[in-house]
């Protein structure tokens, strides 16, 4: 499964345009500085996000620099520290299990469901961990066709080894959520494809119900969600001349991949705005101030994420008892082949965890053939 870095049609997921951006972001991440205040990317002023005043910026919990304290500790991440997208993943699992269509796949080997490696270049002792939860049809579908044949949530998080506060949210280094829901392969139902990628100073965000049939028979289902969470902010750049967007459109897609892009995708690139580490009362404070971009992700993007998943599950529920109504040809197989063979995150995973493990994960867990 060779990775072709020169191919402009690759991306983290099915979007080709995003690949060019992500490859540059990955190159930066391999040698990132975990202190975002020293990273030049965080000093770039956002063209599409100016949502919060300094008083609204959430402070992150202080974490212990073990190396400075002379502690020779193994790189095992603190249970109290979580990544930027952890609450997204928790919500997704809770909602999927709540449908009773799916159950946790307990056959995924432990060494594939979680792995970690030391974070390089970090001033605070940190680890980069990858965790995956896979869900398969519940036993009630043993005698029939399941509505959803597979779902998978993967987190790639940089978290401190030791932190003073439980449940502290780390926004440093590599933070990725990759979430896929595959409906029955004999239907025209869309694949839920969510890629949220945060690296020092930049955030590449995609929420979409990716069409598996042309024309897309389910497109109108997302109009209300799009109107509420993506459109209707006239202060920001526009996707189309007559359609104002809340977040700047992330860029147009090449013709070969437009098949996988719905009309109502949230697709944007956010950039951090540098902030002072001095607290609001002008007293010196060692804590790191969260940037407006990460605040927006934790608040507005999370709201959009919850609503998008809810709308998707609502669409599936409409046909839970009558899948014949949505039977039809689709390109789900080609979609999965594309993702399995052209994922530009592969070089980063190779560097962190090794090529053999990465290949096994891609083939058997992230984009399984069966």
Q: What is the pLDDT of residue 254?
A: 67
Name which of 34-38, 295-299, 365-369 the model is least confident about.
34-38
Residue 341's pLDDT band, with cuts at 50, 70 and 90, is: confident
Residue 248's pLDDT band, with cuts at 50, 70 and 90, is: confident
Count other Cβ atoms within 10 Å, centred on residue 40. 11
Structural domains in the chain (count): 1
When the pLDDT of each residue in the chain is averaged and rounded to a whole number, the result is 75
Give the domain range for residue 193: 81-233+247-272+292-365
CA torsion 251-256-259-260 (nearest 10°) is -60
Kind of pairing between the strands at 126-137 and 148-160: antiparallel
Q: Does 277 have pLDDT greater than 60?
A: no
62 found inside a domain: no
H runs (alpha helix) in 57-177: 86-98, 110-113
337 found inside a domain: yes
- Name the β-bridge partners of 197: 176, 204
The average pLDDT across 8-33 equals 39
What sign does the CA torsion over 233, 237, 241, 246 have?
Answer: negative
327 found inside a domain: yes
Q: Which residue has the higher pLDDT, 26 or 292?
A: 292
37 found inside a domain: no
Q: What is the pLDDT of residue 11?
A: 35
Q: What is the pLDDT of residue 252?
A: 82
227 found inside a domain: yes
Residue 161 CA to residue 78 CA, distance in Å, equals 5
347 found inside a domain: yes
Identity of the highest mean pLDDT range in 8-12, 77-81, 199-203: 199-203
Q: Does 249 have pLDDT greater than 70?
A: yes
Q: What is the pLDDT of residue 242?
A: 53
CB 178, CB 195: distance < 8 Å: yes
240 found inside a domain: no
Q: Does 203 have pLDDT greater than 90?
A: yes
Query: Phi/psi at 62 (nearest 5 deg)?
Result: -75, 140
Q: Which residue has the higher pLDDT, 153 or 17?
A: 153
What are 224-241's pLDDT values in tens digits? 999 999 986 444 444 554
Q: Among candidates 52, 88, 84, 47, which has minimal Cα distance to 251?
A: 47
| DSSP annotation string for 155-203 | EEEEEES-BSSTTEEE-SS-EEEEEEEEE-TTB-PPEEEEEEEEETTEE
Q: What is the pLDDT of residue 140?
A: 75
Q: Which residue has the higher pLDDT, 358 or 168?
A: 358
Q: What is the pLDDT of residue 41?
A: 33
- Whichever domain contains 301, its CATH number is 3.40.1500.20
């Amino acid at each position: 499964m060779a990775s072709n870095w020169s191919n402009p049609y690759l991306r983290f997921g099915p979007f080709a345009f995003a690949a060019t951006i992500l490859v540059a972001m990955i190159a930066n991440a391999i040698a990132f500085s975990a202190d975002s205040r020293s990273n030049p990317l965080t000093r770039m002023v956002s063209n599409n996000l100016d949502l919060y005043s300094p008083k609204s910026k959430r402070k992150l919990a202080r974490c212990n620099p073990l190396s400075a304290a002379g502690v020779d500790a193994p790189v095992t991440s603190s249970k109290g520290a979580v990544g930027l997208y952890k609450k997204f993943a928790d919500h997704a699992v809770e909602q999927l299990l709540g449908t009773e269509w799916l159950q946790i796949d307990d056959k995924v080997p432990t060494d594939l469901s979680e792995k970690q490696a030391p974070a390089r270049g970090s001033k605070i002792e940190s680890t980069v961990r990858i965790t995956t939860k896979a869900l398969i049809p519940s036993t009630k579908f043993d005698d029939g066709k399941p509505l959803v044949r597979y779902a998978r949530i993967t987190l790639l998080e940089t978290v401190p080894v030791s932190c003073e506060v439980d449940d502290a949210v780390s926004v440093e280094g590599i933070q990725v959520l990759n979430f896929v829901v595959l409906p029955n392969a004999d239907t025209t139902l869309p694949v839920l494809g969510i890629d949220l990628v945060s690296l020092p100073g930049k955030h590449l965000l995609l929420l979409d119900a990716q069409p598996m049939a042309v024309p897309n028979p389910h497109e109108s289902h997302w109009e209300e969600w799009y109107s509420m969470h993506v459109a209707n902010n006239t202060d920001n750049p526009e996707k189309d001349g007559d359609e104002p967007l809340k977040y700047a459109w992330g860029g147009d897609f090449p013709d070969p991949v437009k098949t996988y892009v719905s009309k109502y995708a949230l697709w944007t690139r956010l950039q951090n705005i540098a902030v002072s580490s001095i607290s609001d009362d002008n007293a010196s404070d060692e804590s790191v101030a969260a940037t407006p971009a990460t605040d927006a992700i934790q608040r507005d993007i999370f709201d959009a994420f919850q609503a998008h998943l809810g709308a998707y599950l609502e669409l599936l529920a409409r046909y839970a008892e009558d899948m014949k109504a949505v039977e039809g040809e689709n390109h789900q197989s080609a979609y999965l082949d594309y993702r399995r063979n052209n994922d530009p995150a592969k070089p980063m995973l190779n560097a962190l965890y090794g090529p053999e493990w990465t290949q096994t994960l891609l083939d058997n867990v992230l984009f399984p053939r069966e």
